[in-house]
Amino acid sequence: MKRSNMGWIWILTWLAVLLLGVNGVAAQETPDVDQTPQSDAGDQSDDVSAADADPPDSTRHVNVLTIEGPVTPIMISYIERGIQTAERDGAEALIIQLDTPGGQIDLMSDIVQALLRADVPVAVYVFPPGAYAASAGTLITLGAHVAAMAPGTTIGAASPVGSQGEDLGETLETKVKEDLKAQARALAQRRGEGAVAWAESAVEEAKAATAEEALEMGVIDFVAYDLDDLLAQMDGFEVEVNQRDVILSTAGAVIQEQPMSFVEQFLHIVTNPTIAFILLTLGINALLFELSSPGGYVAGIVGAICLLLAFYALGVLPVNYTGLILIALAFVLFAVDIKAPTHGVLTVGGIVALIAGALILFNSPLYRVSLGAIVAVAAVTGLFFAFAVGKAVLAQKKTVVTGREGLIGKVGEVRTLLDREGTVFLQGELWDAEAMDEAVPRGESVEVVAVSGFRLQVRRASRD
């Protein structure tokens, strides 16, 4: 098979793995959850159901943002753009549908500040059922003018951890916790003493609460089954926006979805742990493939782009550097096995190191690489390098057919008497030669035994 065809097959195989990873992420972010209302959580909304709500009023509208996944810089720009749009087009409110495991404290603080600066009422709605506003998502929810949750969702577990998911040192942990507790108290203060006490415990003791428990403690304002239910319950609710009281008029308002832009969606997908892992391994594989088969440039360009995107994601996500080192070690073992006469032993070790590195690359329980993606990537990488090792072993066993070594064993014709020295006609050329044993007369056939510089060492060829 031609080398160029092998390159395209390699690229298409990895693109298939990447697309499977994207589809897997999409499947994870759309859980199959029974959204049938629970009888014990719907008492408060029985009198204001979506079916009994007023028909949509085209003169009033609310804008809706949808956020899934960890807190990232893309999330900040998306929310800020959503707030600006809502302020500009006169929306009654901006609703942020949130499902997040949390993220870095500084990014969370930027989002909270954007919510507090907003000149339009902002509601954070933890949705769909099965979603959570964990860690940084807790303070984001508390920072909104209106906080709501769907039945079957959770909020809390806001204790700080290190950038790699590890526990902080005692002194640093105390400082960070006190700062977060102060922020939590300030954001929950208007919701009452019960909300303040719970917010502090969410930071100090990593407490979490269901939607119904949060409503009972005053942490949130509403439990709503869907957006229509939330709009009906928010209608007439009074909030303070930039030191002025605003009474919401949302019943029957038109819902206007404000999706992420293409660039925002792309970067948001890239920051998913599974996609980041696939991009990292794809990038390293592509560069190794380019180095082993230089001249095509396609694999090198693809590898460089994938590595840059992977480094962007790793700069945003809490990375365990031990996992990165194991992944790097895996590819070192793969590369060495092609040259060393181990016949695949190092490739097996590389696969083990790759799987172990992927499992601990993000050691926070809220950030994981999909097990299916780990298996698929390890299998594709292992097969690729096993193929390369097999080709290398076969090449080592083959007889050399080019260069000086390729002349050994070839048969030529004596042109001048080989009485110790003479000339031999071989492969269209005259060579100086010397006989290894007896003299050989002109016209006889001789076999090349060795090559010394530009002189052949020959012996009489057998009759056979």
One domain for residues 220 and 276: no
pLDDT digits (tens, 9 = 90+) for 380-422: 887 877 776 565 555 555 555 555 666 777 888 888 877 778 8
One domain for residues 220 and 323: no
**Per-residue pLDDT at 63:** 96
One domain for residues 184 and 110: yes
One domain for residues 159 and 205: yes
Residue 412's domain spans which residues? 405-460
Banded pLDDT at 1 (limits 50, 70, 90):
very low
One domain for residues 344 and 369: yes
Q: Is the model more confident about 285 or about 404?
A: 285
Torsions phi, psi for 441 (to 5 deg): -75, 165
pLDDT digits (tens, 9 = 90+) for 158-183: 665 554 444 544 565 677 778 888 98
Tell me if 287 is assigned to some domain.
yes
One domain for residues 254 and 290: no
Last residue of a domain, one of 238, 263, 288: 263
Banded pLDDT at 16 (limits 50, 70, 90):
low
Cα distance between residue 132 and residue 162, in whole Å: 21
Which of 433, 411, 385 lies closest to 10, judged by CA? 385
Cα distance between residue 205 and residue 183, in whole Å: 16
Mean pLDDT value of segment 66-72? 87
Given a cut of 50, whether residue 360 has pLDDT beyond it is yes
Number of domains comprising the chain: 3
Per DSSP bridges, beta strands 146-149 and 154-156 are: unpaired
**Per-residue pLDDT at 95:** 97
Q: Alpha helices of 124-226 — where are they, by DSSP H? A: 136-143, 170-188, 193-204, 211-217
Which of 121, 133, 57 lies closest to 91, judged by CA? 121
Tell me if 349 is assigned to some domain.
yes
One domain for residues 116 and 7: no
Long-range contacts of 375-379 (CB under 8 A, 24+ apart): 376/17, 376/20, 376/21, 377/17, 377/277, 377/278, 377/281, 378/351, 378/354
DSSP secondary structure letters along 84-145: HHHHHHT-SEEEEEEEB--B-HHHHHHHHHHHHH-SS-EEEEE-STT-EEETHHHHHHHHSS
Q: Which residues are catalytic?
A: 135, 175
Tell me if 30 is assigned to some domain.
no
**342 DSSP assignment:** T
One domain for residues 182 and 78: yes
- Distances, alpha carbon 262 to alpha carbons 7, 26, 92, 265, in Å: 29, 16, 26, 5
- For the stretch 148-183, what's the b/e string if a residue is b when 16 or more beta carbons lie within 10 angstroms of its beta carbon? bbbbbbbbbbbbbbeebbeebeeeeeeebbeebbeb
Tell me if 243 is assigned to some domain.
yes
- Percent of the chain whose pLDDT exceeds 70: 76
Question: What is the domain-level CATH number for residue 446?
Answer: 2.40.50.140
One domain for residues 333 and 436: no
Tell me if 83 is assigned to some domain.
yes
Last residue of a domain, one of 263, 291, 317: 263
Tell me if 246 is assigned to some domain.
yes
Question: What is the domain-level CATH number for residue 124?
Answer: 3.90.226.10
Residue 288, both tokens: 């190794």
Amino acid type, 361: L
One domain for residues 127 and 258: yes
Tell me if 196 is assigned to some domain.
yes
**Per-residue pLDDT at 259:** 93
One domain for residues 77 and 149: yes
Please count the other Cβ atoms lying within 10 Å of the Cβ belonging to residue 52. Answer: 10
Instruction: State the greatest distance between any 2 C-alpha atoms of the chain, in Å, as a whole number.
Output: 117
Mean pLDDT, rounded, of the chain = 79
Tell me if 365 is assigned to some domain.
yes
One domain for residues 415 and 321: no
Last residue of a domain, one of 232, 263, 294: 263
